[in-house]
Amino acid sequence: MKVRRKPLLRVRKTGALLVAAVIAFVGTVPLAGAKWELTPVLLIPIAIFVWAWRAGTDVYPDELRVRALAGSTRVPWSRITELAPDERGRISALLENGNVIRLTGVTRGNLPRVLAAGQQEISHPD
């Protein structure tokens, strides 16, 4: 039996996306009700809602788990060589093998909380 661990910190996208998905769903109901051929249109706001609910980064003492709409990626802290922001303030992790993984929901503003939850030290290059 698989034991589930609770993350020390869950970083998610803004809750405004969830509200927008609900509003979009309510807006598509009359359209889908007009003709049965248009009912698949309802799947678009549902998919956005599920993505906004699920996507994010979970912080554990030994790893990060980056979650997407379908699936997730586990990255041990020991494989991360650098965390760097892009021009929009989103944080990406540079791995020891040269790959880059964008940490969903992690920004410059909440990076110190992520590092503190993962018990990682902040070091600045000279």
Domain 56-126 matching CATH 1.20.58: the answer reads: no
Q: How many other C-beta atoms can be found within 10 angstroms of the C-beta atom of residue 93?
A: 21
Say what the pTM is: 0.77
Distance CA 32, CA 54 (A): 26
pLDDT digits (tens, 9 = 90+) for 57-111: 999 999 999 998 888 999 999 999 988 888 888 999 999 999 999 999 999 888 8
pLDDT tens track for 11-69 = 888 788 889 999 999 999 999 889 989 999 999 999 999 998 889 999 999 999 999 88
| Strand pairing class (63-67; 80-85) | unpaired
Domain boundary assignment for the chain: 9-54, 56-126
